[in-house]
Amino acid sequence: MPQILVENLVKTFRVAERRPGLAGAFAGLFSRKHRTVRAIDGVSFSIEAGELIGYIGPNGAGKSTTVKALSGILVPDSGRCEILGRTPWKDRVAHVARIGVVFGQRTQLWWDLPVTESFELLRDIYRVPAEDFLKRRDELVALLGLGPVLDTPARQLSLGQRMRCDLAAALLHAPPILFLDEPTIGLDASAKLAVRDFVKRLNRERGVTVILTTHDMDDIEALCERVMVIADGRILSDGTLAKLRQSVTRERWLTLDLVEEKGAIEDPDARVVERDGLRVRLAFDPEKVSPAVLVARIAARHPVRDLFVENPPIEAIVARLYGELKP
């Protein structure tokens, strides 16, 4: 039995259509047209304990609807979901005691209270025994380097500090499952690294299952073995990063540093992705032309100082995947 099992989850919303202008707004007071939107449309997946999953998709694709249903605060129209043997929305209180949730955009700390007091309140809310609480709090404080900010009210924290405090706050009750919604949004580079490093350790060392929604593909590349892509309410792709790449494109990129900046680079089996002075980036399909042949052909016409072959960045893959969805 997987830790998280989702089968055929469907959720529709009725959205009131707004008519334009003042007259339209008045008319809307008396009769409203409603339109039904399928936020998620038959989503299924299963997750084993200890997995670290990236859940990505364009805005409005159904990510947060899924996460809300999985965290028990939204009741879907149909479909099945079992997490740790419970249906989240049928047994909300018992369910949420066993999960942790962190929203990058919102804090769950008390705004005007020192961080440490927020932790104490959460201890009461989650009924964590005093000993467990102290042990876990001290561990988290050490791991996340929170010592210096414990007595600061949440509103005075920097975004990076706040996010680290929120991570600690979500883990005080030692949940086996953690939902992270955009945990690195707005953070500077070093704060992002700190968050990623922590999440990785949490997953590897404690075996905490992590479901991460993000728009930052570096998060995905740094953390996730498995990626689920949702668009228009359906799961488009579910598997390893490598598989995701393959399903979208076999393309690889050849980057060349030329000796002199002249002449157009042309080859029947490659297309230019970008050109910046002496640096040229070409995309090619290794099934059609081997990199060695391609390099030889180009080097015969243009002196090359340096070169390397790489996978397109995950951003390009995902952009392409989303792009293919639109008519």
Longest dimension (CA), the chain: 75
Q: Which is nearer to other proteins, 62 or 312 (CB)?
A: 62
**Across the strands, what pairs with 229?**
56, 237
Q: How far is the CB of 269 from other proteins (least distance, A)?
A: 50
Q: CB of 107: closest distance to other proteins in angstroms? A: 9
* Nearer to other proteins (CB atom), residue 151 or residue 310: 151
Rounded to a whole number of angstroms, the minimum distance from the CB of residue 115 to other proteins is: 13
Q: Which is nearer to other proteins, 72 or 233 (CB)?
A: 72
Which residues within the stretch 137-196 sit at the binding site for other proteins (CB under 8 A)? Answer: 153
Interface with other proteins, residue 35, by CB under 8 A: no
Question: From CA 237, how far away is CA 82, in angstroms rounded?
Answer: 21
Residue number with CB closer to other proteins (112 or 188)? 112
Nearer to other proteins, 19 or 92 (CB): 92
Binding region for other proteins (CB under 8 A) out of 42-50, 103-111, 183-191, 268-276 = 103-111
The region of 70-78, 130-138, 200-208, 260-268 touching other proteins under the rule CB under 8 A is: 70-78
- Residue 73 as a binder of other proteins (CB under 8 A): the answer is yes
- Sketch the per residue contact string, 108 through 137, with other proteins: x for CB under 8 A, - otherwise: x-xxxx---x---x--xxxx----------
> Distance (Å, rounded) from C-alpha 95 to C-alpha 85?
10
Q: What is the smallest separation between the CB atom of 250 and other proteins, expressed in angstroms?
A: 40
Number of chain residues interacting with other proteins (CB under 8 A):
29
Q: Binder to other proteins among 54, 57, 62, 72 (CB under 8 A)?
A: 72
From 93-101, 203-211, 218-226, 272-280, span contacting other proteins (CB under 8 A):
93-101
Cα angle 85, 87, 89; round to 5 = 150
**Which residue is listed with tokens 């945990």?**
183
Q: Minimum distance from CB of 278 to other proteins (Å)?
A: 50
CB of 93 to other proteins, least distance (A): 5
CB of 73 to other proteins, least distance (A): 4
Q: How far is CA 215 from CA 57, 179, 292, 319, in A?
A: 8, 15, 35, 11
Q: Is 203 in the site for other proteins (CB under 8 A)?
A: no
Would you say 66 and 38 are in contact if contact means Cβ atoms under 8 Å apart?
no
Contacting residue, 23, 30, 106, 129, with other proteins by CB under 8 A: 106
Q: Which is nearer to other proteins, 123 or 226 (CB)?
A: 123
Query: Hey, which residues does 239 pair with through a beta bridge?
Result: 227
Strand 99-103 relative to strand 270-276: parallel, antiparallel, unpaired?
unpaired
Footprint of other proteins (CB under 8 A): 13-14, 65, 68, 71-75, 89, 92-94, 96-97, 101, 106, 108, 110-113, 117, 121, 124-127, 153
